[in-house]
Structure 1
């Protein structure tokens, strides 16, 4: 059934219940223009609906044996949400990577913690203890958005420039970030000739949406997640080499003149929303219908995913390893893909793979404003600030003391959430 995904050669904590599928450029101060091929690219302050602006504190729960909880070297696990010791409660965005965490403040500063063996933290650390607590990434640029994958972190500046650190990986190990097999331990610039409005990271790929409504991708292409590399060149670029994957390239769709207003990623998938029409395009791994196509065939080029009804006005899509979760304009939550471990949130009685978005009845009418997916878990945040979680429960990431899987959304409780 479906195409398998090769597992990473990097040593990582493994959940006993998780089934693997199934199988430089130095940083510079902000400038008003960038010179490309002799022409000046005009830059100005960018804006996108995905740029968070409301400050708050960071809470963490789950397993943290590489420091990804940010709670210090003595705390390896937290069942209930615990407050992370950042300098101020002014974080506007927090992003969990494979084994590291990235936080963005309202001042445009970035703090990271967790595994740094491949440069994902974007800062040099002399010992392991420095990785276990938040540390500031030394950048002079004002950052407005962050994203993170398995072993990389990306940063978007307020004038539309993209920086990244770490490396991408495939089934055989690191492939590099901007050049073959080279790990970047501090942020380097990508796409200097484009003004980028949004970035989104999969496990080992990065997607960039520009002010022209164009999409550029780079990273691993094994499952089709770049949307611009045919299957014969997907494994390490084939005869074209790894550089073919690491040099950002534009994604094209069959519809002439199509422009995009939003992009989202899953671990091995990418979704894009066409401007004005709200049509959803999807590409990447589809071995459990997670793209919304009923044939279980991977897509190496963008295809219109008609199962995403454009009339619902999708505002967010997030993908796990084998499932996806989506939010529509009315605040209802939908899931599709693999059934195991309760990640779809539809209850045990409806436990079957879903090839099209299926509404979660227990959340209907509750007005959700944000959704997100982990490998085999899902989360939803309501307008009133309540958090609901469901899926695989064996690594404490659902905020419950038991290790049972949760088949329907359950509110996350804890002392740190009582007044928040």
Structure 2
């Protein structure tokens, strides 16, 4: 998440001279014709700068973990330090930020360089990985039994530098975003560069209009200027500018672009376009659904909603299969709640408040919402057999077995069917789908119903600062706690909290 600073206060409902303030959702034509007169309401972000140790876990059969080509690194059941991203390996610097896509990761180091690893079928790594020599297995070797599929592509499974990034004078990269098939970087001057492609239900959609199908090196998105934040979906991206206007491009088949995409004009969806959202200070996106928060703390949503992941139901209070929110719609249950961060997966959503509380809603059957059965709200939807299917109402989560234990959350993250919350002193709680080891809790026989603390040798003395997840793997970054007393006090505190 990029922390945005408010640059200029927006007007109240009625200004001093009696004129009405602009609404956050207006017509696209209004914004188009009034753009030059609109005030700047957002400031450019400074980006992250704290050096981080990088830990990974989950399933990496498509090189997602970045631990090198050895077949034994395809499954990592608990957090493991990535040895290729240490200060020694990165020429005296460390990773300061990262973004996790469906099957790849982008990481920014302290020298303003981007490292990438993971599957590169769509050119998302921003570098050539096709010339690696194939490593044949020795059938007589003892290691041949580790994995019948053999080793991974060395270039894809080992972090490498993105090639062709522009050297913009006095400008730094302040945010990265990784979708399933595309990568992008935001500079502190508001410029955006991207590479890869977008895909849709029918297969390859393209990169930019009809002329570029797959872009294998960073290219400036010239339609975007003065951008302060990006948000990624499965195959779409949102962008927010200094004037509080939101743009979207990519696949819009579930209305995740905030507008209707006509089939005969489908390639126009590959051009960033605004769709009537104004006075916005923050944007977020799941795979197919999106959110925006305006400067009056009102929350808007749009996109796929069949599990109530948008925190809305129909006029009868019901959910429908394939339900769509076709345009930005106010979410009363989230507005005015002091939401500072939203993270969403395929069918579920988390929200973090400024007080450090976490709200959760959406799909339930893989336990991605983290709500125990005895705490499910009355609004929970159940199937014909009485099994909970989804929770459309934002519901406060509980961490630890001791009630009112004072645990506050500073960071949240979601994978497709997993969720994570980082406490203010750097421990990670996880829950959700367990088959791919994404919870980071070791081998499990069933999905993790409620937030459960990750505790292992690699991270027990680390203050985790940042976390992100893809389809079946997770990346976190943290800082080692040097003070021994602080280490022990921290562990004792959570042993008591967790019972």
TM over 0.5, shorter chain: yes
Q: Identify which of 285, 289, 299 aligns with 1:280.
A: 299
The corresponding residue for 2:288 is 268
Residues 44 and 242 in structure 2, CA contact (< 8 A), matched pair in contact too: no
Instruction: Look up the SS of the partner of 1:349 in the other structure.
Output: helix
CA distance in 1, matches of 2:300, 2:408: 25
Q: How does 1:55-94 map to 2 (within 5 A)?
A: 55-74=51-70, 75-84=73-82, 85-86=84-85, 87-88=89-90, 90-94=94-98
Tell me how large the CA RMSD over aligned residues is: 1.9
The corresponding residue for 1:215 is 246
CA shift, 1:413, in A, is 1.7
Q: Identify which of 158, 177, 196 aligns with 2:227.
A: 196
Q: How does 1:386-405 map to 2 (within 5 A)?
A: 386-403=427-444, 404-405=446-447
The corresponding residue for 2:334 is 308
Greater shift, 398-407 or 157-166, is seen at 398-407
Residue 48 (structure 1) aligned with residue 45 (structure 2): yes
Q: Identify which of 108, 114, 117 aligns with 1:104.
A: 108
Residues 197 and 210 in structure 1, CA contact (< 8 A), matched pair in contact too: yes
Residues 61 and 80 in structure 1, CA contact (< 8 A), matched pair in contact too: yes
CA shift, 1:81, in A, is 1.0
The corresponding residue for 2:200 is 170
Residues 81 and 458 in structure 2, CA contact (< 8 A), matched pair in contact too: yes
Instruction: Look up the SS of the partner of 2:366 in the other structure.
Output: helix
The corresponding residue for 2:473 is none
Q: Identify which of 398, 404, 408 aligns with 1:361.
A: 398
Residues 124 and 186 in structure 1, CA contact (< 8 A), matched pair in contact too: no
Q: Deviations over 1:183-211 (max 9, x none)?
A: 11111111455110011110000010101
Report the number of matched residues: 363
CA distance in 1, matches of 2:393, 2:371: 13
Residue 245 (structure 1) aligned with residue 241 (structure 2): no
Q: Deviations over 1:343-385 (max 9, x none)?
A: 1111133454221210002367311011111111100111101
Residues 46 and 159 in structure 1, CA contact (< 8 A), matched pair in contact too: no
CA shift, 1:177, in A, is 1.3
CA distance in 2, matches of 1:192, 1:221: 18
Residue 155 (structure 1) aligned with residue 153 (structure 2): no
The corresponding residue for 1:25 is none
Residue 407 (structure 1) aligned with residue 440 (structure 2): no
Name the larger-Rg structure: 2
Q: Which runs of 5+ in 1 are unaligned?
A: 1-38, 40-44
Greater shift, 355-364 or 158-167, is seen at 355-364
The corresponding residue for 1:8 is none
Q: Which runs of 5+ in 2 are unaligned?
A: 1-35, 37-41, 133-152, 377-387, 463-499
Residue 383 (structure 1) aligned with residue 414 (structure 2): no
Q: Quick one: higher RCO (CA 8 Å, sep 6+), 1 or 2?
A: 2
CA distance in 1, matches of 2:181, 2:224: 25
CA shift, 1:214, in A, is 0.7
Residues 223 and 272 in structure 2, CA contact (< 8 A), matched pair in contact too: no
CA shift, 1:46, in A, is 6.2
CA shift, 1:99, in A, is 0.9
The corresponding residue for 1:294 is 313
CA shift, 1:309, in A, is 3.5
TM-score (norm 1): 0.83
